[in-house]
Structure 1
Amino acid sequence: MHTQKLILLAVLLLHLFTASAQEQPDIKLSCEEIETLFLQNNLELIAEKYNIGIADAAIIQARLWDNPTLSVSNVNLWSTKAQEREINDPPHSSYLKNTEFSIELSQIIQTANKRGKLIRREKVAKEIAQQEFEDVLRGLKTELRKSVYEIQYAQAYIDVLVNQQNSTNPLVEAYKKQVQQGNMAKGELLRLQSSLLELENEINGLRMELAQQEKTLKVLLNMNPQTHIEIIDKPHKEKNPEQLTLSDLLQQADEYRPDMKQYRLQTQFHRKSLEYEKSLRTPDVTLSANYDRYGGVWKDFVGFGVSIDLPFLNRNRGNIKAAQLSIAQNLSREQQQQNIILHEVAAAYNNYTQTYRFYKKIEENSLLPELDTMLELYTKNLLNKNISMLEYVDFMEAYRSNKQTVLSAKKELTMQFEELQYLVGTDIQ
């Protein structure tokens, strides 16, 4: 019985070890699903979002009143016989009979609506935190999409090279047999094998690049490093730049760019700070109530008081001046940022227009639809010795170059469009 339990335990442990050692299954995702996972799982976004909660907490803190102050003073812990003779309490009054003390309760009342002005300033600070989050989201989303485009390009180009490899492998095997039978010179086999090795080397290099891009994507999605992602969507259809107008893009950038909004909100924040600093010139009022036992003429004295600072020496001039200078400084930065944004969008629009024209030119003149058929024909013709090895190798290089040029142009077009969207600050419809 004991032996059976040990065998069962060993089988269970082996099963668990095997299951943990297995690689995670491949995951097929669309671009929409990738962006949904990104919004849910990206750790940098989650961390950045806490800043909005921190800004909310600052607003809550600004709403709070100052705590009242309770003070107990003038307490004598013992008394002399002379003091006892001076105090003529009734016999039953033994508790704190000969103790003198005073108690005071005070509360600061803020004037000039300081609390309201501080709350309004903190609300602007929250809007700045929200725009900072949007700016981080904008940058990470662009990085995510560019990583997706890189993966799509690598996967598509690897398919092209693997197709070439599958066509070349049977040729190598057939030439090996011909060389062994003495029907063919070994030089042609070596030329074919060399071409195949170059092909395999390029495939390996692309797979390493693909692994690097997948790593970037999985970090952005916070996924298991063993998971292999396959993107099932085709690249987005390109948008004709003639359907876009530069003036509209410039207007959208001025309206939607989170960094531009941050500069404007920062100016607004300094204006709220100026209002708050000016309100500090008005002194606050402190209301108090106190009780005094044996401290004066009367045995039990209750009194009330009001205190206020005299604003003769400190009128908060330094902080007010600093707030005024901060407004002027930020207005200059705001204009500078606006100027930078306009030039960035104009340059990106021109780059996209040129890339689009180049891609369309390639697409119109490309033999891409016929290349796969021609590959099959060239392979058959080489086997039948209708063409030379040199013609076949030249075609294989032209085949690979043509496919790569089209795929690279398509990738560059999507990258440039994504860069344009990033600089405009919103998805271009």
Structure 2
Amino acid sequence: MRKYKILILLLLIIQRISAQDSRVIKMTPEQIEAQFLDQNLELIAEKMNIDIADASIIQAKLWENPSFELGDVNLWTTKAQRNTEELSPIIGKSLRTQFSLELSQLIQTARKRGKLINREKVSKEIAIQDFEDVLRGLKLELRTSIQEIIYLQNYQKILQHQEDLLKGLIQAYKNQVQQGNIAKNELVRLQSSLLEISNELYEVKTEFNEQQKTLKTLLNFQPEVSIEIEETTEKLLKDPQNIHLEQLLQNALENRADVKKANLQIDYSDKDLIYEKAQRVPDITFSANYDRASGVWKDYVGFGVSFDLPLLNKNQGNIKAAQFAKKQSEFMAVQQMNLAQHELVEAYNNYEETYKLSKEIEKEDLTKDLDFMIDAYTRNLKNRNISMVEYMDFMEAYKENKQTMLTINKNMFIQFENLQYAAGVELK
């Protein structure tokens, strides 16, 4: 019976561990980006603006509905009234009355409908560029978050390793203090260092949780899930020396969604001005009417036409506003092109500097030496071959050097993403 209880307890523990593990999802950056493109709610919502623009084009193509009017109905007609005996009944045999019918249709002149359709087509193109711009911005946010998480994952491992080493040393020093072999102040020094490492680890984990929140929001994941990013293959970054800045500046003007949108806004303003000028020409309404027994003729059929006389309102205000809007959009387009070029040059210079620094650190190749030396320093401290001061100095230098290398590597990837963002293209 006791064996069964132990077996059940082990199964429950395994089940609990499995449940905890299932809340951690391991993903590569490539898998994260594929999930983002498929699941991001902001992208899905922004893409619907294109469908809305399509609907606006459909609406602009529609003709105005015809208008029908029934009037002059006399429900109290009696036989004493003149000519009622001559009228044929409408319903049954007794209801004889007068009424009138009118059917009218508004016809837009000056090709207003076609000009409105052209304007709405430009609106759709603007909606497409809005979507591309949102996608570009969210991609930068996603990729930056990925690099931040990779950095925090690796830095946590460094701090955790130092914490484990200190815990082992503290346990060994406690035994030595009890035996009176060493002074207690050395144990206190180790404990103080452990406290500092633990506090820093806590801060890193807090920042890690914040980045997790950002990434899970972008991927539309459940809150209780945690994402572990696997660095399967190292992404090859382009050498700045192989990037032609002049060509990249030209590409930015041709490919950046915000620049395209600014140029499309000029086209939209131009189409809007044409449409507003067309509004000066009055529309025409054609009508046909039928009158029963209210005039000279018993059954009267007539036709008519009506339109506004453009004497007081020639749409002057809207035309003037459209002219100013066109000039405004031209200035804004130039401003956006200037901004795009300045952003690109800044991003290129930042990436170039970070890339150079990263390559210089790679030449030194300190990673393996630092990992070997920290273990060697720990053993030597246990064997009393080095002083506590020497050990603590190296522990601090180890952490700072490791953090510096991780930070530079993270910044290099982020600056490269900033360069791609400023260029508006993926740099292969």
Shared fold (TM-score, shorter chain, > 0.5): yes
- The AA in structure 2 aligned to 1:422 is Y
Q: CA deviation at 1:167?
A: 2.5
1:381 aligned partner: 380
Match of 1:161 in 2: 159
Cα 1:288–1:208, aligned 2, differ >3 Å: closer, same or farther? Answer: same
Instruction: Please tell me whether the aligned partners of residues 285 and 306 of structure 1 are also in contact (alpha carbons under 8 angstroms).
Output: yes
For 2:176, the equivalent position in structure 1 comes to 178
Superposition pairs for residues 180-199 of structure 1, below 5 Å? 180-199=178-197
User: How many Å apart are 1:272 and its aligned residue?
Assistant: 0.8
Aligned to 1:218: 216
Map 1:231-250; keep pairs closer than 5 Å: 231-233=229-231, 236-250=235-249
Q: How far has the Cα of 1:423 moved from its partner? A: 1.5
CA distance in 1, matches of 2:59, 2:34: 35
Residue 196 of structure 2 aligns with an amino acid whose one-letter code is E
CA contact (8 A) 1:83 1:98 kept: no
The corresponding residue for 1:77 is 75
Taking only aligned residues, the RMSD between alpha carbons, in angstroms, comes to 2.2
CA distance in 2, matches of 1:184, 1:319: 90
Letter in 2 for 1:168: L
Letter in 2 for 1:407: L
- TM-superposition CA deviations, 1:387-426 (whole Å, max 9, x none): 2222111111111111111001111111111111112222
Instruction: Report deviation, 1:156.
Output: 0.5
Deviations 1:233-252 (A, max 9, x none): 25633321111121122112
Q: 1:210 to 1:238 in 2, by over 3 A?
A: same
Q: Can you list the C-alpha shifts for 1:352-379, whole angstroms capped at 9, x where unaligned? A: 1111112222222352221111122212
CA offsets, 1:282-327, max 9 Å, x none?
Answer: 2222222211111222211222223333333332222222212211
Provide the secondary structure at the position in 2 that maps to 1:83: coil
SS in 1 for 2:171: helix
| Alignment-derived partner of residue 257 in structure 1 | 256
Letter of the 1:367 counterpart: L
The count of corresponding residues between Structure 1 and Structure 2 is 411
Spell out the pairing of 1:50-89 with structure 2 (5 A cutoff). Answer: 50-79=48-77, 82-84=80-82, 86-89=83-86
Identity %: 54
Distance in 2 (CA, whole Å) between partners of 1:329 and 1:367 is 56
**Which residue is equivalent to 1:152?**
150
Partners of 1:222 and 1:91 in 2: CA distance: 72
Post-superposition Cα deviations, 1:230-286, rounded to whole Å, max 9, x if no partner, equal 000256333211111211221121112111111111111111111111222222222
Which residue identity does 2:327 align to in structure 1? A
TM-superposed CA distance for 1:204, in Å, is 1.4
d(CA) in 1 for partners of 2:346, 2:319: 41
What is the CA distance between 1:77 and its match in structure 2?
Answer: 1.9
**Matches of 1:212 and 1:414 in 2, distance apart?**
20
Please say which of residues 195-204 and 116-125 is displaced more in the overlay: 195-204
Counterpart of 1:310 in structure 2 is 309
Counterpart Cα distance in 2 of 1:251 and 1:91:
81
Relative to the length of structure 1, the TM-score reads 0.90
- Structure 1 window deviating more from structure 2 (37-46 vs 100-109): it is 37-46
1:200 to 190, 198, 201: 198
Distance in 1 between residues matched to 2:307 and 2:193, nearest whole Å: 92
Match of 1:99 among 94, 97, 100: 97
Gaps of 5+ in 2: 1-11
- How far is 1:208 from its partner? 1.0
Query: Structure 1 residue 88: deviation in Å?
Result: 4.5
Structure 1: runs of 5 or more not aligned: 1-14
Q: Is the 8 A contact 1:120 1:272 kept in 2?
A: yes
